[in-house]
Amino acid sequence: MSKLNYNPDVLSCLANLSNDEVFTPPSLANQMLDMLPQELFRSTDTKFLDPCAKSGVFLREIAKRLIAGLADKIPDLQERIDHIMHHQLYGIAITRLTSLMSRRSLYCSKNASGKYALSQFGTEDGNIRFKDIRHTWQNGKCKYCGASQEVYDRGDDLESHAYEFIHTDKTNTLYNNMTFDVIIGNPPYQLSDGGNGASAIPIYHKFITQAIKLKPRYLTMIIPSRWMTGGRGLDDFRKTFLADNRLSVIHDFKDASLCFSGVEIKGGVNYFLWERDKVSPLCLIINDNGSDEVKECKRPLIEKGCDVFIRNNDLITIYRKVNSRKERSFSDIVSSMKPYGLRGDFFKSPQKYGLPAISEKPIKDGYVIYGLDEKMKRSRRYIPINYPLPKKDDIEKFKLFMSRNQGEGILGETFVPPVFAKPNELCTETFVVIGGFDNEQEMYNCWSYMKTKFFRTMLGMKKNDQGCGQSVYQFVPLQDFSKPWTDEELYKKYGLTEEEIQFIESMIRPME
């Protein structure tokens, strides 16, 4: 085809509303539709719902498949289109603007009752409706979505972002108690909560929960992958969703730009297939790092002895071998937050916490405190031996002070070096404490272990963002620190295969 004759799909050229409300490219919509049993598109009875319609791309691509699939059953093209539009495709738009866009995409007219509509309805909406829903405020928050009243209780001339699909207790009122075979969509991802900067609450999981209440045969949506391991307000959803045997496919992208060009979504995105009648605990996990790097594995969502989802398929056999030895966890020697009871801003204002002033100069026979100064640089302060510290655990031992925030959660990244702390040295909550050790050599032997690629592989099974607190060390096995450690010793100890070793060596960066 020559460039002069090329007509691009307008829905692949739309600019996104924001990083939270992104338009789905047609190619991605079709990848999601490919997961469904294709006989659905050859039945005149299959009903589809997009409960968060934006551009109308899902409904349009479904219509194309139905028009082709029903050609034998309804030979007359206009009769076939009328049946599909009136009895098989339904949408709930997220805004008035997207309702017009969706109708334009599906009906070829923003007015479904107009003379230019592909199939004429008795109303302008057709089967793609938008209702100007308002939030229901309770104690400053919407009881349905958690939106901040301070931010969203505003005039009618501004968008309320109260989405009809999730702002009701009565799901049977949606399209008059209609039963849908397939619910599909790309829901809004989050709402600002009125906090500083980019502070926001996730909202996409509420669309999933509501869709499941409607008991469709199939449910597929594309959402951020943060729900798998972390994310504010997602703990209950994650626990419930990972325990749901009806999940049959999770297609996971660490890099969201593989799905949405020009959009940064930290932690990546995934689309899934949920099947109402599935009973097997196994789910097909697809790790997609681009066309040349797609790996599939059918496995349980939660491994034995594990309480989180391990995203990377290549890590599963390594996890199973290490876990089978039933060793103590390295997290047993990692402190919780505020190891000595000192907050991160302790250097700036100790009086704020009812504590005496501290010194910038060494004090004879006193304690040394490591933390961050006003310029957010590692620094030291000094207090006398009789200072009223909230905690003094292991203060007389050797320790490693590790920054509580490390990297970005990318498998293979290196550590910021620790503070090698001697007796009578402590820290603020900027750090977690590893130890304590009875002597200096044990401390250095521990650091030799932490620098290994094996250690950082085990850490990476749970570390998916900057946070490097006690819990992310859960899967790392504890070793005997009377000696230093090398990767070769650890590979042999845990019986790793050449393939597993090659994966670790190729993915984990070396540390000096």
Q: How far is CA 504 from CA 54, 125, 412, 449, in A?
A: 42, 55, 8, 15
506 contacts: CB under 8 Å, gap ≥ 6: none
116-119: Cβ within 8 A, 24+ apart: 118/81, 118/85, 119/78, 119/81, 119/82, 119/84, 119/85, 119/86
308: pLDDT confidence band, cut at 50, 70 and 90?
A: confident
What is the band of 2 on the pLDDT scale with cuts at 50, 70, 90?
very low
Helix (H) or strand (E) holding 316: helix 316-323
Structure tokens at 475: 């899967």
Question: In the prediction, which pLDDT does 412 show?
Answer: 86
Output the CATH code of domain 3-301.
Answer: 3.40.50.150
Provide the b/e sequence for 356-375 (b: ≥16 CB within 10 Å).
eebeeeeeeebbbbbbbeee
The 10s digit of each residue's pLDDT in 486-497 is 999 999 999 999
CB atoms within 10 A of CB 51: 25
169: pLDDT strictly greater than 70: yes
**Would you say 17 and 29 are in contact if contact means Cβ atoms under 8 Å apart?**
no
Q: Which of 220-234, 348-362, 371-385, 492-506 has the highest mean pLDDT?
A: 492-506
At 4 the pLDDT is: 43
Question: Which H, E and C letters describe 415-448, residue by residue?
Answer: CCCCEEECCCEEECCCEEEEEEECCHHHHHHHHH
Structure tokens at 63: 């219509």
Label residue 150 by pLDDT band (50, 70, 90).
confident
Domain ranges of the chain: 3-301, 330-507
Q: Mean of the per-residue pLDDT values for the chain? A: 89
- Burial track 76-101 (b if 16+ CB lie within 10 A, e otherwise): eeeebbbbbbeebbbbbbbbeebbbb
Q: Confidence band (pLDDT; 50, 70, 90) for 1?
A: very low
* pLDDT, tens digit (0-9, with 9 covering 90-100), for 452-471: 999 999 999 888 778 889 98
pLDDT of the residue at 19: 46
Instruction: Give the global pTM.
Output: 0.82
Which band of pLDDT confidence, cut at 50, 70 and 90, is reported for residue 393?
confident
Q: Secondary structure of the chain: what % helix, strand, coil (to 5)?
A: 30, 20, 50
pLDDT digits (tens, 9 = 90+) for 83-126: 999 999 999 999 999 999 999 999 999 999 999 999 999 999 99
- Output 21 or 130, whichever has higher pLDDT: 130
Q: Do residues 105 and 60 touch, judged by C-beta distance below 8 A?
A: yes
Q: What are phi and psi of 214, to 5 degrees?
A: -80, -5
The one-letter amino acid at 251: H
- Mind listing the pLDDT tens digit for each residue in 181-219? 999 999 999 887 654 444 678 999 999 999 999 999 999
